[in-house]
Amino acid sequence: MSSKNQQQIAVLASSTFAFTICFAIWMMFAVLGIPIKAQLGLNETEFGLLAATPVLSGSLVRVPLGIWTDRYGGRIVFFILMLVTALPIWLISHATAYWHFLVLGLFVGLAGGSFSVGTPYVARWFGKERRGLAMGIFGAGNSGSALTKFVAPAIIAAFGWQMLPKVYAVAMLLTAAVFWLGTYSDPAHKMPAGVSFREQMKVLKDPRVWRYCQYYSVVFGGYVGLALWMTKYYVTEYGFDMGLAALLAACFSLPGGVLRALGGWISDKYGAYKVTWWVMWVCWVCFFLLSYPQTNMIIKTVTGSTTLQIGLTPVMFTVLLFVVGVAMAVGKASVFKFIGDDFSDNIGAVSGVVGLAGGLGGFVLPILFGALVDLTGVRSSAFMLLYGTVCVSLVWMHFSFKDSGRPAAPARLAVVA
C-alpha cells in the first residue's frame, strides 16, 4: 500500500471517529433533556427548544467553518473546534436553571459544525470516482446519535444525569488527541490565498445550491429532528421507560447514520439525481402512514354499532421508522454527491451553506413538533409536518429535472489565484 493510500485511510478513519463522537455529544439532549424536563417542569415546546438549541449554533457556524477549512485546512480547524467545546460540555453538569442549559447548549452545539469541516477535509483526499463513498463513510458518523441513545441512559441510570456531561467532556478531549495523531495535512488542499470571501460566496447565486439546501433540510434536518424527538415520543405515546424508548429510537438513528456510507456507494454508481428522487418517494409513503393518529371509529351497521381502532402498533411504528432511517441515510449521501460533483473547487463553502440549511431544519423541527403537540394534542402531527416538507422536495425536483430527467452537467467555480 502506497504512502498516499495509507494517509487517505488514516484521515478517513480518524475523521469519521471524531465526527461520531462530536455528533453523539451534539445529540445528547435527546436523552439528557428528559430528566431535565422532569426536574424543571418544562412543557413540550420548552423541551423542543432545549433539545434543539445545540442544533442552532451547530448549524449557524457551519458556513464560516467550511470557509475556514477551505482556507486553512481541515486538520487544524477540526482539532481546535473539539478543544473549544470541552469546557461548556463539562459545565452542563453544574447548570441548575433553564437558561443555563440554553446558553451552554449553544456552545456545545459547536460540535455539530464539525460536519462542515470534515466533509471537505475528507473529500479532497479522494478522487471524484470515490468521493461519494468517502463522504458517505465520513457522514456515517451521524450514527453518534444512536451511540448517545445506547450510552446515555445507562450512565444516567447509574450515576445521575450530571455525570453524562462530564463523561462526554473527557471523551471530547481524548478524541481531539486521537484525531490530531491520526491525521495529516496537505497544503495543496487549501484554497489559494488570493481568493476573497466574496468570490467564495458567489456560489450562492447558483440555484442548484438552494435546491440542495431544500433536499438536505428534509433528509438531514428531518433526521436530526426525529433523532432528538423519538425517545420522548416512545415514552409519551407508548408508555415505555427511557431505556427501552432510547433503544427503539436507535432503530432509526443507527441505520440513519451507519448506512450513509452505502448511500455514497449507491450515489457513485447510479447518480445523485436518481437516488435522491427515490429517497424522497420512500419518505413520502412512510410519513403518510406515520402521520395517521391513534383513532377509534364507531361505525353504524345493520346489526348495531361496531368500534374500529386504527393506529400503528409499536412494532409497525418502529419498522416504518427504520425504513425512514435507511432512506435518509442514503439521501444525505446522495445530496452531498451532488455537491462533490458540481462544486468540487468550492466544496467547503457550499457544504457549509447546505449543512446550515439542514441544521436549521434540525433546529426548527423539534420546536415545531412540540408546538404542534401543545396546540393539537396529536403527537403524530410531527410526521404530518415532515410529510409536507417531502411534498415540497418532490415538486421542486420534478420541475427542476423534468426536461432532462437528470441534473445538468457540473459547472465548477472559477478560482482566482
Cα separation of 401 and 348, whole Å? 25
- The string of pLDDT tens digits covering residues 377-410 is 888 898 999 999 899 888 888 777 765 444 444 4
- Are 242 and 232 in contact, with CB atoms under 8 Å apart? no
- Helix (H) or strand (E) holding 51, with range, is helix 44-60
The CA distance from 227 to 207, in Å, is 30
281-301 residues labelled b (16+ CB within 10 A) or e (exposed): ebbbebbeebbebeeeeeeee
Instruction: State the DSSP code for 309.
Output: E
Give the whole-angstrom CA distance, residue 298 versus residue 365: 34
Residues 28-42 have pLDDT tens digits of 888 898 899 989 998
DSSP assignment letter at 408: P
Domain boundaries, the chain: 3-401
pLDDT digits (tens, 9 = 90+) for 67-122: 888 788 889 999 999 999 999 999 999 999 999 999 999 999 899 889 888 888 98
What gap in Å lies between CA 144 and CA 186, rounded to an integer?
28
pLDDT at 195 over 70: no
CB contact at 8 A, 29 and 98: no
What residue type is assigned to position 20 of the chain? T
**Please, which residues bridge with residue 134 across strands?**
none
Quickly state the pLDDT bin for 17 (edges 50, 70, 90). very high
Confidence (pLDDT) at 415:
38
Confidence of residue 20 (pLDDT cuts 50, 70, 90): very high
* Percentage of the chain lying above the pLDDT 90 cut: 28
35 by Cβ neighbours in 10 Å (0-12 / 13-18 / 19+) ranks as middle
Per DSSP, the residues of 116-175 read HHHHHHHHTTS-HHHHHHHHHHHHGGGGHHHHHHHHHHHHHHHH-TTHHHHHHHHHHHHH
For residue range 235-248, what is the model confidence (pLDDT) as tens digits? 888 888 888 888 88
Tell me how long the chain is. Answer: 417
**pTM of the entire structure?**
0.70
User: At 100, which amino acid appears?
Assistant: H
CATH architecture type of domain 3-401:
Up-down Bundle (1.20)
Residue 412: is its pLDDT beyond 60? no
> Which whole number is the average pLDDT over 352-360?
82
Grid coordinates of 118: 470534515
